[in-house]
A and B are shown apart, each in its own frame.
Chain A
Amino acid sequence: MSASTMGQAPGPDMLLEARKVTKTFGGLVAVNKVDLEIPRGSIISLIGPNGAGKTTFFNVIAGILDPTSGVVEFDGQQVVARPVRAWLEPVTWVLPAIAIGLLGFLVYQASAVAGALVILVAIISLIVMLLAAIVRPVWYRSLLLRFGVFKSARPNEMVRAGIGRTFQNIRLFANMTALENVQVGMHLKMKANAADALFSTPRAQAEEKASIVTARQFLDLVGLKGRGGQLAKNLPYGDQRRLEVARALASEPSLVLLDEPTAGMNPNETRQMTELISRLRHDLGLSFLLIEHDMKVVMGISDRITVLDHGERIAEGTPEEVRTNPRVIEAYLGKPPE
Chain B
Amino acid sequence: MTVNLPRFARPLGIGAVALIVEYLLLGTQQFANALTLGAIYALIALGYTMVYGIVELINFAHGDVFMVGSFLAMWIMTTIFGLTGPVTNLVNLVGLLAIVMLATMVGMGLIGAFIERVAYRPLRHAPRLAPLITAIGVSFILQNIIATAFGPSPVNFPQIVPADKFALMGARIAYLNLFIVIMAVVLMIALQVFIGRTRLGRAMRSTAQDREAAELMGVDINQTIAITFFIAAALAGAGGMVQGLYAGSIKFDLGFFVGLKAFTAAVLGGIGNTTGAAIGGFVIAFVEVYATVIGYTQWSEVAVFTVLILVLVFRPSGLLGQQLGERA
Contacts and interface: CB of A to CB of B under 8 A. Distances in A.
Interface of A: 62-64, 154-156, 158-160, 164-165, 167, 171-176, 180-181, 183-185, 187-188, 190, 192-194, 196-198, 200, 204, 207-208, 211, 247-248, 250-251
The 6 closest A-B pairs by CB, nearest first: A159-B218, A188-B218, A171-B213, A197-B198, A155-B215, A184-B206
Main secondary structure, interface of A, reads helix
A156 B219 contact: yes
A184 B200 contact: no
B326 A184 contact: no
A167 B200 contact: no
A167 B213 contact: yes
Nearest to B7: A231
B125 interface: no
B210 A187 contact: no
B194 A183 contact: no
A250 B201 CA distance: 18
A184 B217 contact: yes
Contacts of B219: 156, 184, 187
Given A156-B221, A173-B213, A187 B198 contact: no
B216 A62 contact: yes
Which interface class (under 10, 10 to 19, 20 to 34, 35 or more) fits B?
20 to 34
Contact of B199 (A155, A172, A187, A251): A187
B121 interface: no
A181 B326 CA distance: 17
A192 B218 contact: no
Contacts of A160: 218
B304 interface: no
A176 B213 CA distance: 13
B171 to A, nearest CB: 36
B197 A208 contact: yes
A155 B197 CA distance: 25
B132 to A, nearest CB: 25
Contacts of A196: 198
Contacts of A251: 217-218
Given A173-B209, A250-B217, 20 more contacts: A155-B216, A156-B215, A156-B216, A156-B217, A164-B217, A171-B210, A171-B213, A173-B205, A175-B205, A183-B199, A184-B206, A184-B217, A185-B218, A188-B218, A194-B230, A196-B198, A197-B198, A197-B199, A198-B194, A251-B217
Contact of A197 (B200, B210, B216, B323): B200
15 contacts: A156-B217, A160-B218, A173-B209, A175-B205, A175-B209, A180-B202, A180-B205, A184-B217, A185-B217, A187-B202, A187-B219, A196-B198, A197-B200, A198-B194, A251-B218
Contact of B323 (A64, A175, A192): A175
Interface string B158-174: 00000000000000000
Contacts of B203: 184, 187
B73 interface: no
Contacts of A159: 216-218
B205 A197 contact: no
Of B197, B202, B217, chain A has the most CB atoms within 10 Å of the CB of B217
Nearest to B4: A229
A173 B218 contact: no
A176 B199 contact: no
Contact of A176 (B197, B200, B209, B221): B209
B233 to A, nearest CB: 14
B220 to A, nearest CB: 5
A197 B234 CA distance: 15
B110 interface: no
Interface in B207-230: 209-210, 212-221, 227, 230
